[in-house]
Amino acid sequence: MSATWTTIAALALATAAIKASGPLVLGGRDLPRWALRLISLTAPALLAALVAVETFGGHKSLVLDPRAAGAAAAGATLAAGRGVVAAGILAAVVAALVRAIS
């Protein structure tokens, strides 16, 4: 077995152990309210981090390009109370317009 497959197998076993530790430690007890609130915030935080890295990252310095304009338009649309679909469409249109102009 190569070092790559050994690493993959070790990571798979570690992931299974981490996932199994929750039910084993809690033993059917309910989580406290603060823990449930914290867990519910992890998905939006991870999504925001992914969007930020994919929009502005990837280089050694901050990159401002049409994707940044699209992300700003989507953020403004969501802040205005519009839906996610409208934000996605507007982000694509704004990014395409900025790309066409520049």
Note whether residue 56 is domain-resident. no
pLDDT at 48: 87
What does pLDDT average to in each consecutive run of 10 residues of the chain (102 residues)? 92 94 82 89 91 78 84 94 94 95 87
Note whether residue 37 is domain-resident. no
3 Cβ contact list (under 8 Å, min separation 6): none
11 Cβ contact list (under 8 Å, min separation 6): none
pLDDT at 35: 87
* Torsion from C-alpha of 9, 53, 45, 76, nearest 10 degrees: -150
For residue 10, the enclosing domain spans 1-30
pLDDT at 13: 96
Work out how many domains the chain is built from and give that number: 1
Cα→Cα distances 56→42, 49, 51, 62, 78, Å? 21, 11, 8, 6, 19
Note whether residue 83 is domain-resident. no
The torsion region of residue 30 among left (phi > 0), alpha (psi -120 to 50) and beta comes to beta
pLDDT at 65: 83
Note whether residue 9 is domain-resident. yes
